[in-house]
Amino acid sequence: MSNSTSPSNSPANAAAGASFICRRVRTAEVVPALRLILGCDGQPAEESQALELMKHTAQRGINLGDIWISERDGSVFWAALPVVSPGRTVLYFGTSALLLGRDPTAMHQGIEAVSAHYATINVELAQVLLDPRDAPTIAVYEQHRFRWMAELLYLQRSVRKTPMPAPLPGEFKLVGYSPETHSGFAAAILASYEKSLDCPALNGMRGIEDVILGHKSAGTFDPNDWFLLLHGNLPVAVLLLAVTHQRDGMELVYLGLSPAVRGYGLGNYLMQVAEARVCAKKLDKLSLAVDATNEPALKLYYRHGMKQVTSKVAMMRTLRGSAECKVQSAE
């Protein structure tokens, strides 16, 4: 099997406008497909990088047999690894358009085939996270009805010994997650969306139960790492944490306050709770993703020593009503 090594001699250029077979990957095609998925700057990744990713996905229980490819005459032109999350969402990790030369036909056909497949198995939303500098790939996904949700800034900081948070005022109480408090978490999350600057385009795209399932799938869920802030009996804020899949730190999955309690320093308090939890877990890193336009949140996170490490463009498409595409099943 051949694979592209540069845009100038890629099979895509030789087969411009051709029709491709879009199907699940076969065992012998996994490494070449991963090299395309991991490729950057118009070049496929080294085989060693593909083998390293295989180890990582095995640890996380991700099935590489779920990779989809667009191929023609035995050559793989495009590949994507779809990862389904609870909450009926699938995240595509796919080949950059920069590896396809001037003709992205294989990518167009592949995206539609994958989307049509997942639309049939009760997945409602497809998402991609793209390099903000990769304009050709962003443009292709836009042609397939993926909407720009936000530019996400990924922040991180080391957490050493940190003091415990100051006591809350008497009318506030912090409680953990349990079946009894589940509805309170749901209510507080929904309330936090009102006038929120954090990915506002996402509001209303999923039901709250799917949202909660999605948050639970981020990292390793432990009910002791989820916190609900009550004002009297009213749910007013949430802090959702998770140990990362690599177990090298904790992720701040979501921090949200209802409008009624914003501006009173409760965000600072919840950040202190997060830092204390990292230390209690004997970990030393806290990470999160935040909408680049959410200035109040950025001020809070920067005040707590968070620093940007990278950024991604988040795009999303509803799969309801996706057009059917003829696909060939993997053998």
Confidence of residue 322 (pLDDT cuts 50, 70, 90): low
Q: What would the CATH number be for the domain defined by 155-311?
A: 3.40.630.30
pLDDT in tens, 12-31: 343 455 689 999 999 999 99
What is the pLDDT, as a whole number, of residue 58? 85
DSSP 91: E
> Do 7-144 and 155-311 have matching folds?
yes
Burial of 279 (0-12, 13-18, 19+ CB in 10 A): middle
CB atoms within 10 A of CB 156: 16
Q: Are 328 and 117 in contact (CB under 8 A)?
A: no
The answer to whether residue 273 scores a pLDDT higher than 70 is yes
More confident residue, 200 or 245: 245
* Pairwise CA distance, residues 116 & 152, whole Å: 27
Collapsing DSSP to helix, strand or coil, 96 comes out as coil
What local confidence, expressed as pLDDT, does residue 166 receive? 81
Tell me, which fold does domain 7-144 have in CATH? Answer: Aminopeptidase (3.40.630)
Alpha carbon 48 to chain centroid, angstroms: 24
Q: What is the mean pLDDT of the chain?
A: 88
User: Which helix (H) or strand (E) covers residue 210, if one does?
Assistant: helix 208-216
Q: pTM here?
A: 0.85
Nearest to 249, CA basis, from 281, 225, 273: 281
The pair of structure tokens assigned to 84 is: 């389904």
Contact assessment for residue 245 and residue 220, using Cβ atoms and an 8 Å cutoff: yes
φ, ψ at 216 (rounded to 5°): -65, -25
Domains of the chain, residue spans: 7-144, 155-311
DSSP 276-330: HHHHHTT--EEEEEEETT-HHHHHHHHHTT-EEEEEEEEEEEE-TTPPP---B--
- pLDDT, tens digit, 9 for 90 and up, residues 81-137: 999 988 889 999 999 999 988 889 999 999 999 999 999 998 999 999 999 999 999
Give the pLDDT score at 219: 84
Instruction: Give pLDDT, residue 248.
Output: 83
Cβ atoms of residues 162 and 206 within 8 Å? no
Using alpha carbons, list the distances in angstroms from residue 37 to 121, 144, 309, 322, 331.
24, 19, 21, 24, 21
